[in-house]
Structure 1
Amino acid sequence: MALKIPAALWDRQYVAGLLRRYWGLLPNGEPAYTGARFERLEGGGDQPEVADRFTPADFIAVATLSLRVPVRAVLHVLEPTDRNPYNRLLSQIPVGLELAAAEERHIAADGPAWNLWRSLCNVKGIGPIGAGKLLARKRPHLLPVYDLVIKEVFERPSRDLSFWSDVRRALRADDRTLVAHLEDVRGLAGIGEDIGVLRVLDTAAWLHGKDERLGRHGPTTSRP
């Protein structure tokens, strides 16, 4: 299905303002939203030395998005046995590949990304949203963050198994107009080019959704 992008998210000034809020700082120097550290913590989950294995920093990064994985589940992933495929599957997902440039096979069912997501879903305490956020941490340019606010903003179906594919099609449509727009608002907001277009889309949509649902009350210290 087509990705339904709210008209407001095409307003460059509005979106740039959302991004500045999300990546802004409080008077004491702390981040206005802890999720602003998600991709930058410890240099990022896709750095060469850690790209093909999960680390404690990845679970702390997920916690910045207000999803705390139980310690037993963390240990299960960090201390895999021969029966646990997490790092093996992770190593099969290309590093640095952008979703707009990816082939459908990179995100298709029964591919490494899908199989890793499904395996992590089955770990008690991680679940579908946690699995998706872990994958977004490890492959930030290929796999987008997904949560209940994103689901609502983009009007996704109750059983949503095509989000990756639908985002890919949206990014590639009309000579990649959406990609150009996201790069433009990223520059306008001045948040840094290390923040990929998927996170620009995610954070703008998430903050827009929170404002729509709860009204704007100013930045908080976390991503609820």
Structure 2
Amino acid sequence: MRKKYVMIAIICSGLFLFLTPFPDQASLTSVFRVTEEPAVITRGINGSALTVNLSFGDLEVEQWIRELNTPYPFLFVDTGWANRFPETIKLINEKNIPVGLLGHAGNAYDQNTALFTGQLEQFQALFGTKPLWFRTADEVFPHSLQLMLWEAEVNALGSSFSWHGANPPPVKPGEIISVPHNREQRTDLTALHKLYDTRTFQPLEDVLFNPTIKTKKTPK
């Protein structure tokens, strides 16, 4: 009798698993907010993250991206610049380099929802996905812009400091370094070795969330 009940339970479990629809891949893609309310993130928990703001450059930027190795820096991309250099964007996509949306100066978004919405749509057309991270060109985030980002489920990311090619400062745990490469501040990307010589960079999410992996030893 007991074996009969066990067999019935097994059959019922099998039918439940068979009839339960599996979620499609899209539903498993997470969209997250890092903060519990509108806010700007400027540092993480541990380690160092390198972010580069791209809104200017042609062949030298393409060559730099072509020579990049993992772990990649996080690229904030201006959509106006990106639309002029589709081959560079194709290369970024092929190498699966992490990207976010680089906007205009912060005051350009004051009550200007259309500007932000238009840039989101352009980013999605270029990279096939909505950005999880947004940065203004001057790292100024008016309150109205923070609310727009919150509504769109996009996180605002500033930086711990901006590097322009001088001798790097001492390492601080959780630092997020931004490197501008625009018409006014054209930081030499080939000089980034100065930063790489002084710290070990990690992916942005690792610096923000400090994930740890526990391994279980198998007894001999």
Q: TM-score, normalised by structure 2?
A: 0.34
Q: Rg bigger for which structure?
A: 2
Normalized per residue, the structure richer in strand is 2
Task: Write 1 or 2 for the structure with the bigger share of helix.
Answer: 1
